[in-house]
Amino acid sequence: MNSANKEMVESAFGTARPTTDAAAASPLANNLADLLTHEDVDRARDRWRVTRARGGQARAAGLGKLPLFWLLVGPGVLVFLGENDAPSMLSYSATGSRFGVGFFIPFVIFTFLMGLVVQEMTVRLGAVTHRGHAELIFDRFGRFWGLFSIGDLILGNFLTLVTEFIGIRAGLGFFGVRPVIAVAIGLAVVFVAITTGRYWTWERITLALAIFNGLFVPAALLARPHWQAVGHALWSWMPLPHGSGSEILLLLLANIGATVTPWMIFFQQSAVVDKGIQPRDISAGRLDTLVGAVLAAAFGIAAILATVPLFHHGIDASRFEAAQFAEALEPWIGHAGAALFALGIFESGIVAAIAISTSSAYAFGEVLRTGHSLNRPVREAWPFYSILLGSACAAAALVLIPHAPLVFIVLIVNVIAVLAMPPALAFLLLLVNDRDVMGEHVNRAWENVTGVTVTVLLICAGIGFGLATVFPHWLAP
């Protein structure tokens, strides 16, 4: 192992020092070289760049701290823009077309605050332990609870992957692309992104795709929203809108499930580990997560505003798919606006398909103790990549089944995500309060208060949905 690689490896463990020729020639160095994997060297190379940026070389060039943040940004932005997936954006669109500007705009912001609380704990847990969420649950709580959590995750992830390909199919459907071709395009993009053999490359490709979630912003502007009404909604938080109690409850749960889901915990913690984030990077990880939450909230609200014209003109959008939303919007926001909306749905499905399938593969790899890093080439970690691509292919195939109730599946998947979230949050809270695991980074009192509050709110939402399902007459108008 040459001296440059030794410096990079030491940097990855937070002990970057110049390496002498004598040290490089030692038997210990040679043994270390034998033990190093492709994954170790690639992650060490990324950490070495962070160390150099933190050491002042970027500031000496007059670039401030931006290069350091650029090197550390990624998991937080991806997890929130990935959660602005096809079912989420369709839930926001259904909300805007049904209820217009009002209660749901500040409610969406509130759900992202809930998500920020959860994901901040996830960042700390990954940075301190350098282990994925599934692996920690197995080690700390045993095989039964480990299998329970993995089963919960895999079922939810697969159902959500199905909805992502619904979005891909429907978004490209606006442009006349046949379903089979649309799904094939989606799979091709997923394949290209994940087979680079390099976490950094995968992350930058996915970030480049994720920023196109912002296509909903120009679509919303073309809808010419009433900004005074938007400001009033944000300031006053209007009471619940009039309508069917069951419909309002379904949209409430769908909007919560559009922001807070179990896969986000598993994905971000594993991505933090794969990226090599250290405890001294936690502040940057928080900022990364905050930026992701702000962007995702803005784009989600834009999807609501883009579909408000349907509400004003009394158009029933309860059974719309993505292409039908875009087609219905075309008279009010023009062909360009409708095309942007359709492309936004396509993009949201692509990014989420990449992130969610990666989340499942990370969890399987951690539990099976096999290679589970995007820094490993396919030949070294073929089970990891097989699960990743296999889950995406299976979900894509289901989308092509004729006459499937696609819109119902989209809304119900977000509701299932809400019902599955309390157990995932319980494991997360127990882990971040375990001093043996977290050391000095254990949860503080106010962090526990906010975390428990979010958990209780989600439990109440789940109970409310269950009661409404068993006793639907309670919510009858």
Contact 415, 251 (CB under 8 A): no
pLDDT (tens digit per residue) in 263-279: 899 999 999 988 888 89
More confident residue, 466 or 419: 419
Closest by alpha carbon to 116, among 335, 302, 294? 294
The Cα–Cα gap between 97 and 304 comes to 7
More confident residue, 258 or 374: 374
DSSP secondary structure letter of residue 25: T
The Cα–Cα gap between 151 and 39 comes to 28
pLDDT (tens digit per residue) in 117-150: 999 999 999 999 988 888 899 888 888 888 888 8
The Cα–Cα gap between 19 and 7 comes to 6
Contact 392, 357 (CB under 8 A): yes
The Cα–Cα gap between 459 and 225 comes to 35
Q: Three-state SS across 145-176?
A: HHHHHHHHHHHHHHHHHHHHHHHHHHHHHCCC
Query: How far is C-alpha 345 from the geometric centre of its chain's CA atoms?
Result: 15
Tell me the percentage of the chain whose pLDDT exceeds 90. 20
pLDDT for 19: 39
* Average confidence (pLDDT) over 304-332: 77
pLDDT for 38: 64
Q: What's the length of the chain?
A: 477
Contact 76, 44 (CB under 8 A): no
> Does 367 have pLDDT greater than 50?
yes
DSSP secondary structure letter of residue 444: P
Contact 172, 182 (CB under 8 A): yes
Torsion of CA 283, 289, 290, 292, to 10 degrees: 150
pTM above 0.85, yes or no: no
pLDDT for 157: 84
pLDDT (tens digit per residue) in 4-46: 555 555 544 444 333 334 444 445 445 555 556 666 677 777 7
DSSP secondary structure letter of residue 240: P
Half-sphere CA count of 456, side-chain side, radius 13 A: 6
Contact 118, 425 (CB under 8 A): yes
Contact 374, 194 (CB under 8 A): yes
pLDDT for 1: 47
- In which element (H, E) is residue 117 found? helix 104-129
pLDDT for 468: 63
Domain boundaries, the chain: 3-67, 73-475
pLDDT for 229: 84
Cα–Cα distances (Å) from 23 to 14, 26, 28, 47, in that order, read 18, 5, 8, 21
pLDDT (tens digit per residue) in 208-221: 999 999 999 999 99
pLDDT for 244: 64
Overall fold of domain 73-475? Amino acid/polyamine transporter I (1.20.1740)
pLDDT for 318: 56
pLDDT for 424: 83
* Average confidence (pLDDT) over 164-168: 87
